[in-house]
Structure 1
Amino acid sequence: MNSIIIETFQEAQELISQVLNRENILPQIEAMAKQMADVLLNKGKLIACGNGGSMCDAIHFAEELSGRFNKDRQALPAIALSDPGYLSCVANDYGWDNVFARGVDAFALKGDLILGISTSGNSTNIIKALKTAKQKECFSASLLGKEGGKLKGFCDYEIIVPSNNTARIQEIHGIIIHLLIELIEKELFTSQGENPQSPLFC
């Protein structure tokens, strides 16, 4: 039992080190956060989607932007495509592969940003959602794992966690989500003394 605990923490520690040593990942996080902040500043919204644990990540992302993370500031328009009534309706009538694309078609407007979260990069419903995002002239972003799967290179912004362990990928996705939100808050809401270029203050 103790060895499982130690091994899990060691795996997580090693993966964090790998992420820190990948030259492209940190700039990708920064660029994705900047684009998200720009979308919000331009009165757009962020729409997130994922399956299973990745849906929980999408919900987490949306609730801390629309609710609260670190700062007392105005609510930000971010939603997760996660309503069970909606999902079961679309899955029943159009199939599970179309549940997120249908939501993007319903809610997304030109200039919004769609975030797809998939540890494999091969989830058909996430791929279709991001294709719909492009058709609607939205920005597209993805949090992926393993080698990136079919989604590798598809989105305007992508972050691939270099691991084949789904649990470890999801844990790093959680850290990245918190970083994205923190960077968005720093970009949009700060004291004038901290960042005179900030368009909004809290």
Structure 2
Amino acid sequence: MVRPRNQAERRAQLIDATARTVVDLGAPATKLRDVARAAGVTPASVLYYYADIHELFAAVFERSAATYFVTRSEAIADAEGPTARLRACIHSGVPWPGQAEESTRLLFELFPVALRNESAAERHRLFADQQAGLYRDVLESGQASGDFALAGDADALGRSFVALEDGYAMDLLIGIVDPREIENRLLDHARLVTANPVFRRTS
């Protein structure tokens, strides 16, 4: 491993190594020595930058969540009009094969950390709020333009979309649904909560 020029670079390398290891082994099986091996350093070197494996997990989650959120935000911003933006919001939340599925798997692997670490729990709460906020803003925009006749409060509906995303993503990770079906189910939900028939299933 090339020696990093500064602490920020070393931390980034350790976060990369941790993310790869979690995806390969799963968070419960990932130990500090596994991360050190993947990063090409000693466990003591890892502990110089992070107090323990849980602090590393929290850092990995924070970076992954931020990247995921930015990717979704950009996809929505590129769409024109409320209906196109809601479609983009839905599409960007589906764990399509490749990077999207790997990111989703990593975030799910790290979720249990939030149950025992308050700092990680706060990051999870912020992430959930951000995802719901993406939907809320699009839904409110559609309501204001007359494109949507919302079935309820925009914030509550946004959270319902995120809850559905999470549930369907888990179904995908255990192999009982595919990405296209997830998108179609979310489009069904969009049609119901917006009263706009434009949200039809795709083939």
TM range, normalised to the smaller chain? under 0.3
Structure showing greater Rg: 2
> As a proportion of its length, which structure holds more strand?
1
The TM-score with structure 1 as length reference comes to 0.26
The TM-score with structure 2 as length reference comes to 0.26
Q: Pick 1 or 2: higher relative contact order, CA cutoff 8 A, min separation 6.
A: 1
> As a proportion of its length, which structure holds more helix?
2
